[in-house]
Amino acid sequence: DGKAFDSDCFQKLVFRIDQERDDMLVELFKNIDDSSIREINELKWRELEYCLNYTSWTAIAAKLDLKKEFANCK
């Protein structure tokens, strides 16, 4: 629609998304079983980072209405 993002709102939204991601990952690793940890330890960093980024964004998209959140920053 050509409107610029409000930088303060956008910064707060990005911080909120990062915090949601961190909270979900902490919760995930608090509840993970030993065999899953062993499998994770066998992954290379690049593979692990990809998995974490993909799954966390999927979870965030399911939890937050990102389209609405971004629209609120215009």
Asked if residue 38 is part of any domain, the answer here is yes
Place of tokens 């209405």: 65
Structural domain range at position 50: 28-65
Asked if residue 20 is part of any domain, the answer here is no
Short-list 14, 2, 27, 29, CA closest to 64: 14
In percent, the amount of the chain with pLDDT more than 70 equals 97
Over residues 1-18, the mean pLDDT reads: 86
Asked if residue 73 is part of any domain, the answer here is no
Is the pLDDT confidence value at 1 over 70? no
Asked if residue 22 is part of any domain, the answer here is no
Supply the mean pLDDT for the chain: 87
Amino acid, single-letter form, for residue 47: E
pLDDT tens per residue across span 19-49: 998 898 898 889 899 998 888 888 888 888 8
Over residues 4-19, the mean pLDDT reads: 90
**Predicted local confidence at residue 28, as pLDDT:** 85
